[in-house]
Amino acid sequence: MVEGLPPDGALARKLTGHHWQHGDFLLADLVDALGQLVTDFRNANKREDAPVQSYPKPVWRPEKPSVKKRRKRKARREAAEARTGYLRIVALATPEHAEKG
């Protein structure tokens, strides 16, 4: 029953985290490539004293939820490592015998 669901249905949007289909990503890639080609053409045919035109920003694309989860996990892991390093430095800087004296 689940196999016949549409690729742009509610379940597919929930699993992918967005409503984009494969064609939407291809179209975004095409727009980015066209922007780069136009920029290359303009730079190749500009006056010698004109500044070089930079590439346009890429078209926005939705992120997969798994990417967001991995980033959050990585941030938590780095925070825990930083905390452990901080506590180790504090322990080295404040020896126990200094507290007793």
pLDDT at 101 over 50: no
Do the Cβ atoms of 61 and 28 come closer than 8 Å? yes
Assessment of whether the complete model's pTM goes beyond 0.95: no
Q: Which two tokens stand for residue 49?
A: 């004293």
Q: What is the pLDDT of residues 50-79, one digit of tens each?
A: 999 999 999 998 876 666 778 888 899 999
Q: What is the pLDDT of residues 4-19, one digit of tens each?
A: 787 777 877 777 777 7
Q: Which helix (H) or strand (E) holds 22?
A: helix 22-44
